[in-house]
Amino acid sequence: MMVGVRALFLLSCLALTAAYGWWVTHPMGAQRHYKQLRAQITKQEQKNHQARKENDVLRRKIMALRYDQRAAEQAARDHLFLAKPNEVVVICPK
């Protein structure tokens, strides 16, 4: 009885080792999966960096609109087509 249990244990260890070896070396195995995940992480880090730069630009624009009277006036003129009294606004097609 003890010999059968040992043989079964050794056989299962051998099967697990073979399965792990196949999984690691198989073209769709762990190394390829790791490389794909690494590429995804790198791509996402690049997107995050770009988003941070865009956020910084927008944050500066917000601060300018809040605290710089000339920036707020320019934004009103450009986007809302507002004018000072006695000014004429001319809209030219692009």
Q: What is the pLDDT of residue 22?
A: 75
Model-level pTM? 0.53
Q: What is the pLDDT along the chain (94 residues), one digit of tens a residue?
A: 577 888 888 889 999 998 887 777 776 767 778 888 999 999 999 999 999 999 999 999 999 999 999 998 888 888 887 888 888 878 788 7
DSSP string for residues in the chain:
-HHHHHHHHHHHHHHHHHHHHHHHHSTTSHHHHHHHHHHHHHHHHHHHHHHHHHHHHHHHHHHHHHH-HHHHHHHHHHHH----TT--------
